[in-house]
Structure 1
């Protein structure tokens, strides 16, 4: 008789042996300062890039929504799970993304899965950047379409693959890549999609500072985003043409068969989106930009990787930082390619200059970081 617990322990032991074991660690705090296992730490791990998760207006909007609508949507969106708040948020997101219409999903992960499985039919070829997020990878795997992988940001390779492929085509890329913090060349990518009649699916989850794709004549594009990073709430969305959004409503199984986004998260995201499009939003982005330049001048995004190579080195560096009161997690395969384990520093407008000084000092004292990795830190 097979003993599943014995098998699970054997698998876990294997993960521990190669430094791939992971566990849940509670971070209790309101903003970048909190406690981890009873220790007070300064976190550089959050994706709350503009610090809106703790913004008073965002929190008040969530509380007001609960008082008006209750805690849950109670059903899928096509049954009785749609509230007027969903429509308001979708209109705001469509306007923000210069699109005809938007559709909110229960997470950004589900948004990518929904788009790629609903549109990736058997007569379609998907072209995916090799460093795309797991939600894109899984969406490609679940789709009926064929998938071709092009080398990271290598548009010449993508051009060759597009030229060699007939039929309907979808190119899918992140605008800001979640582990390296580098950016896609959006104008050239858009031009390439126009030349080959390809639909561009652009995941903009980490693009708190852009780049933003300018309107391009002839381009067919779907903007995929999350409500849980720049907007500090929870959920995901897709923005694009009315026809494509209508098709997703009718064919995206993880939209059709999932309870709608909660009223609190919907209202929080709506309040945050309005802040983002205001003068205050401009000020928050300018502040974030200045903090990035303190750590790594000219870097394109709030994600600053410090690549150490071996898993054990990344774990040791993270532990040394934790002992100094700085929380920066070690990122290991399969999240990143083998041999590229790293510290992933994530900056937020809620950090202060003094906090950045503390981080830079702690990084400089690390034992295992090559000097070239710290030249800007």
Structure 2
């Protein structure tokens, strides 16, 4: 008889069969450096990941500081470059201070866990990103999930708690690209003296004045009760994340946030690339408006073709598919036709509806937009196009 230890992971066979039966198998697909595909799948909203200045920023930082940060931020992992990026990022977004971490995911875990101690209440939007959800699960405070984008539900939930509380939400939701009602959420929070913590991963670089983000657009930049997390891997075309907010909040994270204290600092190359992208956006603020314009064009033209397209508030354009299997086939057919699109299926979508997810990049030309619309609409599966279109 085989040792029982050989069956330690035997349950994985059942898990694999369940995924296959549900059409939810995921695979890695390495892309070449010179991919011929038209890219509407990445999060490179401003088209900066290959911009010469951003690449030079990464290369120069690597030459100056080496290939890695060499340690945690509290030991050897904080360079003068990290400090410069934090100062300029905070100033650009209108906040008192910033703290750079190794990813946007780590930034969300840091902020939620450090700002929701034992005895506190976390009020979390039902459509929040997985990183916010995981932060809520790891925090010592109690979490209540409320219906999507519903300030009144937030108000009622806060009224049930007497003590510290924080409301947690994405600013732009990554599935349908809709915006959270930040102004109303902020007003509700102030009624109960609760903090507002928002993830602006999909807003930074696209919304607000010159791409300063959703908090800027909502008039919340620098508010003493508002904390914003961002990623450097989307509009800035680099890697990493950051928390922005009042100086006392950032000081607290330095001392209490485990994903900051115990993680190696962001690699200098990524910090250099992000700083170069930030400076480029300051010089070319029109990139933010162009990303929104491309999103509006995709929405209008795909809707005219009879597809069910969520109205975008930023640079995420979501096209509904009839089923998970058909979403996968649709994306694969687009890829075969030279177009790369995202494919969202359960459990990545909170409502269980599969979608193609398109990135409205600022550097897409009008002919490229036309090509994308033609391919997506021509290859749409039965059930994706409404009758009479």
TM-score by length of structure 1 reads 0.92
Whether contact under 8 Å (1:310, 1:339) holds in the other structure is: no
- Report the counterpart of residue 209 of structure 1 in structure 2: 206
Of residues 175-184 and 358-367 in structure 1, the stretch that sits farther from structure 2 once superposed is: 358-367
Distance 1:374 1:186 in 2: 38
Unaligned segments of structure 1, at least 5 residues = 35-39
Whether contact under 8 Å (1:42, 1:325) holds in the other structure is: yes
How far off is 1:164 after superposition? 2.0
Distance 1:180 1:59 in 2: 31
State which of 163, 171, 174 in structure 2 corresponds to 1:175: 171
Q: Secondary structure at the match of 1:26?
A: coil
How far off is 1:99 after superposition? 1.2
How far off is 1:219 after superposition? 4.9
Distance 2:186 2:221 in 1: 7
State which of 338, 345, 367 in structure 2 corresponds to 1:354: 367
1:283 equivalent to 2:286? Answer yes
How far off is 1:5 after superposition? 5.7
Distance 1:337 1:242 in 2: 34
Aligned residues: 365
Distance 1:53 1:7 in 2: 41
Distance 1:244 1:24 in 2: 38
Of residues 306-315 and 215-224 in structure 1, the stretch that sits farther from structure 2 once superposed is: 215-224
Distance 2:275 2:299 in 1: 32
Distance 2:371 2:8 in 1: 46
Whether contact under 8 Å (2:170, 2:200) holds in the other structure is: yes
Q: Secondary structure at the match of 1:305?
A: strand
- Report the counterpart of residue 332 of structure 2 in structure 1: 319
How far off is 1:48 after superposition? 0.6
Unaligned segments of structure 2, at least 5 residues = 208-213, 301-310
How far off is 1:306 after superposition? 0.9
How far off is 1:68 after superposition? 0.8
How far off is 1:372 after superposition? 4.6
Whether contact under 8 Å (2:176, 2:312) holds in the other structure is: no
Whether contact under 8 Å (2:326, 2:381) holds in the other structure is: no
- Report the counterpart of residue 259 of structure 2 in structure 1: 254
Distance 1:226 1:141 in 2: 21
Whether contact under 8 Å (2:224, 2:245) holds in the other structure is: no
Q: Secondary structure at the match of 2:32?
A: strand
Matches within 5 A, 1:1-377: 1=4, 2-4=6-8, 6-29=10-33, 34=35, 40-207=36-203, 208-210=205-207, 211=214, 212-215=217-220, 219-278=224-283, 280=284, 282-297=285-300, 299-337=312-350, 339-365=352-378, 366-372=380-386
Distance 1:126 1:324 in 2: 45
TM-score by length of structure 2 reads 0.89
Render the CA deviation track for 1:221-264: whole Å, top value 9, x for unaligned: 11100000011100000011111101100111111111111110
- Report the counterpart of residue 37 of structure 1 in structure 2: none
How far off is 1:150 after superposition? 1.0
Change (3 A) 1:181 1:215: closer
Q: Secondary structure at the match of 1:152?
A: coil
Q: Secondary structure at the match of 2:42?
A: coil
How far off is 1:176 after superposition? 0.4
